[in-house]
Structure 1
Amino acid sequence: MSSDTPDAAPVGGSLADRVSKPDAPAEVASEDGARDGAGDKLGGSELQEPDYTVEVKLSDLQADPNNPLFSIQTFDNLGLDERILKGLSSMNFRKPSKVQERALPLLMSNPPKNLVGQSQSGTGKTAAFVLNVLSRLDLTTEQSQITPQALILAPTRELARQIVGVIQVMGQFLDGLVIGTAVPTETSIRPARMDCSVVVGTPGTVQDMIKKRIMNPTQLKVLVLDEADNMLDQQGLGDQCIRVKAMLPRTIQVVLFSATFPTHVHTYAGKFAPSANEITLKHDELTVEGIKQLYMDCNNEEEKYASLIQLYGLLTVGSSIIFVKTRASASQIESRMTAQGHTVASLTGGIEGSQRDSIIDRFRSGEAKVLITTNVLARGIDVSTVSLVINYDIPAAFENNRNTGEPDYQTYLHRIGRTGRFGRIGVAISFVGSRQEWEMLRMIQTHFQCTIDRIDTGDWDEVEELIKKTIKNSRAQAKFNQ
């Protein structure tokens, strides 16, 4: 986009300098270095404790907030199996996070109650629902060890595999724990029977396995939907989740967790998980504060690519994710960059399962430092080394497969959250290549009440210095807070 665009910000200025950004909340790191999401082996980031209040809404008006288990201060208060406590200790979880203090007593009460939980990434959601799942398993007989008792659904195979990793670490001392992964495969060959105590998978594959009697759902006690707003809002996934739930016992405990819950999805979640307890953050606390947001003016798609090449040296300082709107764009950019001698990887929904696993594993290990992807990796994926996110295309909202002209606010929020857990400092750069993208970025700034600063690409040495300084400062603060 040219510099004579109406209302363009001055060089080095903000997108809308009349909109001020409130002071970012102080970052409060876990004293014990606990890790949520992916563990150490998968390069997960440390659990963060932003300064906020967890609100609790009880479905039972007779519930007693003075009950000792209304909130817990230690995991010992839950009466957990010693082997689970040992698993928690191996993950450096010494005490519950603020969300876990309130969520765990509600999750683990008996008789089981449904729960709808909204909490920022990196605050312990994954560990909370995994802890509940493990505590409800009966592994006393050989038959119980191979009969599914808990089902966790995720929107992508990458997130499903990450959750499996958390269960493996937390449940490593539980004799007889068998975990099954139900995700799409590149072959039609499936096991004759899903022999495991916990199943983690994607809705379509799980639905298919139940239909074909590969998976027996009759003994399931817990159903968890991770990234629930995305699962229930997308037409395909939402329909599949409904069909899966209809195949499960009516007495099953339903647990929904997400970092965001738009109003219309929250209303539907109440029907999917009836009479549920709720833990929530106020909407105005779900912001992008603490993430340094920048944008670059580009006249066209070719200038976007040229800017990406100029930034390549910065992309490899740590690890970086480049978000594009289509699989074709990802493939094209990867091909062009590779031909120019740059080392990049591309991961989209069009790539076969085992190859996708290999790509994300290379990215986690640091073997591949630059990853080009679509929104398949916008949610839930935790890789602590990611220091920079590029919005090559501004995420647009669609309704009935038509572009509404507005941005997809939740996708933007989740995308830039891949630079680090919420409450930490990260760097996100958006490329603006058309008037529509310009307007969408203005809307994003207004929606989140934040400042998005323009980068002057007239001096690339200055651009490099600015971004390196920001990344260095974020790392220094993270190290200081540990």
Structure 2
Amino acid sequence: MKDSDIAPHTNKMYVKNEAAGDRVNKAEQSLLNKLIRCSLVKNGNQVEVQQADPKSPLFSAKTFEELRLKPELLKGVFTMGFNRPSRIQENALPMMLAEPRQNLIAQSQSGTGKTAAFSLAMLSHVNPENNWTHVSKRSYTPFTLPLKTVSGVFMSACLCSVERGIKRQEQIVIGTPGTVLDWCTKYKLIDPKKITMFVLDEADVMIARQGHREQSIRIQRLLNKSCQMLLFSATFEDSVMTFAERVISQPNIIRLKRVEETLETIKQFYVLCRRKEDKFIALCDLYGCLTIAQAMIFCHTRKMAAWLASRLIEEGHQVSLLSGEMTVEQRAAVIERFRNGNEKVLVTTNVCSRGIDVEQVSLVVNFDLPVDMQGNADNETYLHRIGRTGRFGRRGFAVNMVDSDHSMDIIRQIEKHFDKKITKLDTSNLEEMEEMTI
């Protein structure tokens, strides 16, 4: 097939409509990652620490014993199977437990142990003999798991609902910003002046909702200036830092040094097609010629993903389908089945483009190329998609289906952005297919 054989340039209105696609909801993606994590993420990024007081000695803990935790907490940590602090824990916990108390803004992705870190800090500051709230944690959704995963010894209660008129005596309260604000102001169930630690988790997810951002600021204004402030976020976008600076004064800052993800272990190709049926034929040729452990195929819309999954099942492939109309729990179950090898092919939209590590994935196919709302190459999504293969230093393949002049232009934009050539591939040529694996 020649370059001239592909379909003509796609009109702009079609591009913009398609670009809406199956967009990732940050809150749902964060919860999905929590549900499917079975172990700590090994992050290759180095940690950069910026201290509020540069003269203060920098201290990190390589063992939990160095933190001088209460014996009951240390026992709980070891009982849960934590042998040594993760990277975020060894840098953040000494700051969170220091006297005098220090404020902290920390960047840490889901699965790196940050929940256990601030839970240990919460539990360390709690005095069980005082029957009032010491610690308040804000989350974008009521979530009672964090404290239970560390130790139940000092956990009095994690509240997701309250009975009106009854003053809260629990030492630790967890809730959404709106609910906790009501407890402090409308129902007078919590005295904000007695709160000694204020934790904002998943800040990048939470501030995406205008109401949560403003509610958190209102709560912060009710607290004593001596209240310890902790903020955690997976990303340090400008909006996150602007928000953090409004609610936290003189913070220590822990951030991940930016390391560009390498594509050296991933061979990238593109295949010229005319329509979706040609894409499907090329996909079958590709799958028939390669020794593939597992494959992930990305489509732009739910409709296309459903059509492709149905066609592959008709061809006898073991296929699972993942898209945005499914609940988070349903998506987690599908990913778990795929990870366990129950299905060899996962057809998905962007809901699975990031944060999902499956060691056996050797092939990623962009059945539809990722584009932004303007119809240009979405380079970040492309990186996250093809990054599902080539994991853990293994070799992987990424194949892009090109069905128009516009799609070819997207390929050129991606090549320019990553300064890496994407090789043309003829899936009907068996000899060429064999050479690609060398």
TM-score interval for Structure 1 and Structure 2 normalised by the shorter chain: 0.5 to 0.7
Q: Go from structure 1 to structure 2 and tell me whether the alpha carbon gap of 1:433 and 1:86 turns closer, same or farther (over 3 Å shift).
A: farther
**CA deviation profile, 1:300-359 (whole Å, cap 9, x unmatched):** 333323233334468994443322222222222222223333222222221245533433
Q: Distance in 1 between matches of 2:154 and 2:291?
A: 42
Indicate the residue corresponding to 2:21 in structure 1. none
State how far apart, in whole Å, the 2-side matches of 1:191 and 1:391 are.
48
Number of equivalences = 392
1:150 aligns to 2:143 (yes or no)? no
What is the DSSP-based 3-state SS (H/G/I as helix, E as strand, rest coil) of the residue aligned with 2:295? strand
2:119 to 129, 133, 136: 133
CA contact (8 A) 2:80 2:150 kept: no
- The answer on whether the counterparts of 1:322 and 1:392 sit within 8 Å (CA) in structure 2 is yes
Encode CA deviations 1:101-138: one digit per residue, 9 max, x unaligned. 43443455452413142x6x6xx863134322233134
Aligned counterpart, 2:3: 3
Q: CA RMSD in A?
A: 4.8
- Looking at structure 1, the residues matched to 397 and 215 of structure 2 have their Cα atoms a distance apart, in angstroms, of 39
Q: Give the 3-state SS of the residue equivalent to 1:431 in structure 2.
A: strand
TM-score, length of structure 1 as denominator length: 0.63
Match of 1:447 among 386, 406, 417: 417
CA 1:301–1:129: 2 relative to 1, 3 Å: same
Q: 1:93 to 1:333 in 2, by over 3 A?
A: same
Q: Which residue identity lines up with residue 42 of structure 2 in the other structure?
A: Q
- The aligned counterpart of 1:310 is 285
SS of the equivalent of 2:233 reads strand
Name 2:370's counterpart in structure 1: 395
Where do residues 281-292 of structure 1 align in structure 2 (5 Å cutoff)?
281-283=256-258, 285-292=259-266
**Greater C-alpha Rg:** 2
Correspondence 1:245 to 2:216: yes
Q: Is the 8 A contact 1:315 1:370 kept in 2?
A: no
Return the alpha-carbon distance in structure 1 between the equivalents of residues 322 and 130 of structure 2: 39
The answer to whether residue 48 in structure 2 is matched with residue 55 in structure 1 is yes
In structure 1, how many angstroms separate the alpha carbons of the residues matched to 2:382 and 2:230? 28
Q: Which string of whole-angstrom CA distances, capped at 9 and with x for unpartnered residues, describes residues 181-202 of structure 1?
A: x9xxxxxxx9989x996759xx
Offset, 1:224: 1.0
Distance 1:377 1:277, change over 3 A: farther
In the other structure, the counterpart of 1:333 is 308
Please tell me whether the aligned partners of residues 3 and 297 of structure 1 are also in contact (alpha carbons under 8 angstroms): no
* Helix, strand or coil at the partner of 1:419: coil
* 1:410 alignment partner, one of 360, 363, 380: 380
Partner of 1:379: helix, strand, or coil?
coil
For residues 135 and 339 of structure 2, the distance between their equivalents in structure 1, rounded to whole angstroms, comes to 30
**Alignment check: 8 A CA contact 1:74 1:96 kept:** yes
- Three-state SS of the structure 1 residue aligned to 2:113 is helix
Residue identity matched to 1:150: K
1:375 offset after TM fit, Å?
A: 2.0
Alignment of 1:195-206 (within 5 A): 206=176
Judge which range, 249-258 or 294-303, deviates more. 249-258
Residue 344 (structure 1) aligned with residue 319 (structure 2): yes
**Alpha-carbon offset, residue 449 of structure 1:** 3.9
- Bigger drift between 416-425 and 77-86 goes to 416-425
Task: Return the offset for 1:63.
Answer: 3.6
Q: Is the partner of 1:405 in helix, strand or coil?
A: coil
1:294 aligns with 2:268: yes
> In the alignment, is residue 115 of structure 1 matched against residue 91 of structure 2?
no
Give the corresponding residue for 1:255. Answer: 231
The separation in 1 between residues aligned to 2:277 and 2:422, in whole angstroms, is: 23
Question: How far, CA to CA, are the matches of 2:394 and 2:96 in structure 1?
Answer: 28
Structure 1: how far apart are the matches of 2:262 and 2:377? 15
Summarize the Cα distance change of 1:423–1:348 in structure 2 as closer, same or farther, 3 Å threshold.
same
- What secondary structure does 1:396 align onto? coil
CA–CA separation in structure 1 for the residues paired with 2:392 and 2:92: 19
Deviates more, 1:98-107 or 1:370-379: 98-107
Q: Which residue of 2 aligns with 1:19?
A: none
In structure 2, C-alpha distance between the alignment counterparts of 1:301 and 1:383, rounded to whole Å: 27
In structure 2, the gaps of 5 or more residues are 7-31, 165-169
Q: Distance in 2 between matches of 1:225 and 1:255?
A: 8
Residue number in structure 2 paired with 1:20: none
Q: What displacement does 1:292 show?
A: 0.6
Range that drifts further, 325-334 or 423-432: 423-432
Q: Is the 8 A contact 2:50 2:254 kept in 1?
A: yes
Aligned counterpart for 1:463 among listed residues 424, 433, 437: 433
Structure 1 alignment gaps of length 5 or more: 7-36, 155-159, 183-189, 201-205, 398-402, 470-482
Q: Hey, what does 1:18 align to over in structure 2?
A: none
